[in-house]
């Protein structure tokens, strides 16, 4: 082997090892916190209002499906009648819809993102109980802790598949301590799955601002502490490749409430009962290429 060949060989091996190392450690690289790099002008202080409404489901919702838990006896024991919860409708009201202020202008001309919004110190809990994620849909602010616990008598893995944040997968055997994680970048919505129990799914909405909520079993939601202004409110629900969104333009008065009702399913689009609001018809967007 001549000298030149040896040099090339050593270089090739070194580059391969470097590529291998960077590939293995790729997911652990720190991510720039976009919230910290925005041109924030300090915290907002002034009067606030709320955005509230009800999410309805028009038409006949798809029936919940029974989940086969025979592959793991602990799941069947803990939750013998485990059903899908992608469309939870009670008296025509839709639960688990993530509603958030996507964009808008605060009275005075500034954008919501021009202000800094402090990250809550309390962690959001995500529990694995009965081989089911609880809550099924939830929101956090960027860099807010998510505390993941396993209350089951079996092992799980938590695997989230974001598009802008790093992908992450971690096993959590029964009895293991809680895992705390954060997201550095805003992203709506991040699917979470358990590869050991493939029916287990959850969705996390990561927001730079605290202006989000999830509809309860009565379909109601409320976003508090919103500065007066004109906003685009979005309701997101799971289904299809990337879920379905509906948008609504809403005006929030100082110390008042802007109302934005949403409707999914096969019925008519968005409704509103408050004529003083600026309204636009809802647009249903199958987010195929999000």
The residues that touch another protein, with contacts defined as CB under 8 A, are: 20, 23-24, 26-27, 65-68, 71-75, 84, 154-155, 157, 159, 167, 169-171, 173, 195-199, 241
The residue (of 1 and 24) whose beta carbon lies closer to another protein is 24
Question: Which residue's CB is nearer to another protein, number 74 or number 220?
Answer: 74
CB of 55: closest distance to another protein in angstroms?
22
The least distance separating another protein from the CB of residue 37, rounded to whole angstroms, comes to 27
Contacts for 137 with CB less than 8 Å, ≥ 6 apart: 96, 97, 98, 189, 202, 203, 204, 205, 214, 238
Neighbouring residues of 197: CB distance < 8 A, sequence distance ≥ 6: 69, 71, 72, 75, 131, 156
Residues 6+ apart with CB under 8 A from 188: 98, 100, 205, 206, 207, 234, 236
Q: How far is the CB of 125 from another protein (least distance, A)?
A: 21
Nearer to another protein, 14 or 73 (CB): 73
In the bound state with another protein, the residue whose beta carbon lies nearer, of 46 and 240, is 240
Q: Is 145 exposed, middle or buried (0-12, 13-18, 19+ CB in 10 A)?
A: middle
| Cβ at position 269, least distance to another protein in Å | 24
Q: What is the DSSP letter of 271?
A: -
* Cβ atoms of 113 and 90 closer than 8 Å: no
Q: 99, 235 in Cβ contact below 8 A? A: yes
Smallest gap from Cβ 26 to another protein, in A, equals 7
> 12 or 241: whose CB is closer to another protein?
241
Shortest CB 192 distance to another protein, Å: 12
Query: Least distance (Å) from another protein to the CB of residue 232?
Result: 29
Least spacing, CB of residue 68 vs another protein, in Å:
7
Task: Judge residue 113's burial from the number of C-beta atoms within 10 Å of its C-beta, 0-12 exposed, 13-18 middle, 19 or more buried.
Answer: middle
Which C-beta is closer to another protein: that of 23 or that of 121? 23
Q: Give the C-alpha separation, 212 to 233, whole Å.
A: 9
92, with CB counted inside 10 A (0-12, 13-18, 19+), is: middle
Residue 258: φ, ψ to 5° = -100, 135
Secondary structure element (H or E) that encloses residue 159, with its range:
strand 156-160
Q: Are 154 and 75 in contact (CB under 8 A)?
A: yes
Nearer to another protein, 57 or 117 (CB): 57
Nearer to another protein, 75 or 126 (CB): 75
Q: Which residue has the tokens 């990250």?
A: 119
């Amino acid at each position: 082997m001549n000298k030149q060949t040896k040099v090339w060989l050593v270089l090739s091996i070194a580059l391969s090892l470097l590529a291998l190392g960077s590939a293995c450690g790729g997911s652990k690289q720190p991510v720039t916190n976009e919230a910290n790099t925005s041109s924030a002008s300090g915290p907002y202080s002034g009067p606030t209002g709320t955005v509230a409404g009800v999410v309805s489901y028009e038409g006949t919702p798809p029936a919940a499906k029974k989940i086969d838990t025979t592959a793991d006896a602990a799941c069947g024991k803990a939750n013998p009648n485990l059903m899908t919860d992608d469309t939870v409708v009670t008296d025509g009201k839709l639960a688990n819809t993530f509603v958030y202020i996507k964009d808008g202008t605060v009275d005075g001309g500034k954008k919501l993102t021009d202000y800094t919004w402090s990250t809550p110190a309390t962690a959001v809990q995500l529990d694995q109980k009965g081989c089911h994620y609880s809550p099924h849909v939830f929101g956090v602010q960027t860099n807010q802790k998510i505390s993941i616990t396993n209350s089951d008598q079996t092992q799980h893995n938590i695997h989230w598949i974001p598009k802008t944040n790093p992908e992450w997968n971690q096993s959590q055997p029964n009895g293991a301590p809680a895992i705390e994680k954060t997201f550095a970048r805003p992203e709506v919505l991040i699917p979470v799955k358990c590869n050991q129990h493939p029916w287990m799914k959850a969705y996390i909405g990561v927001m730079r601002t605290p202006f989000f909520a999830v509809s309860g079993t009565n379909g109601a939601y409320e976003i508090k502490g919103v500065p007066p202004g004109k906003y685009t409110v979005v309701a997101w629900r799971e289904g299809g490749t990337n879920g379905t969104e509906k948008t609504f333009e809403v005006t929030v008065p100082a110390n008042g409430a802007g109302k934005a009702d949403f409707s999914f399913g096969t019925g008519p689009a968005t409704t509103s009962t408050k004529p003083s609001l600026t309204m636009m018809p809802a647009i249903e967007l199958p987010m195929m290429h999000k």
